[in-house]
Amino acid sequence: MLFYSLKKQNNMNRQNIIVVERCPNTIQCWGNFKRACIENDLPYHSLKMKSFPIVYKDYIIRKVEFNGKNEGGI
């Protein structure tokens, strides 16, 4: 008898994205804050304790609504 493991499909709807702005005029969008920090050589463990928007050296890190309106931002 064969048993199949049916994994429940994860239909996560993304609500927010992380926008990393680096002077001059470089903008990156990430779905994961930790990955954004790793790829940009930023100290994730120190920055995760701060509230958004985060200003660190020449970076501005924001959490914005995905497919939504961001007033006064990017």
Q: Are 41 and 34 in contact, with CB atoms under 8 Å apart?
A: no
Q: Domain range holding 56?
A: 16-65
Q: Looking at the domain assignment, is residue 36 inside a domain?
A: yes
Q: Does 11 fall in a domain?
A: no
In a domain, 48, yes or no: yes
68 in Cβ contact with 17 (< 8 Å)? no
Q: Do the domain assignments include residue 47? A: yes
SS3 for 26? strand
Asked whether residue 73 is domain-assigned, the answer is no
Q: pLDDT 10s per residue in the chain (74 long)?
A: 455 555 555 556 778 889 999 888 899 999 899 999 999 999 999 999 999 999 999 999 999 988 755 555 55
What's the structural domain count of the chain? Answer: 1
pTM of structure:
0.70
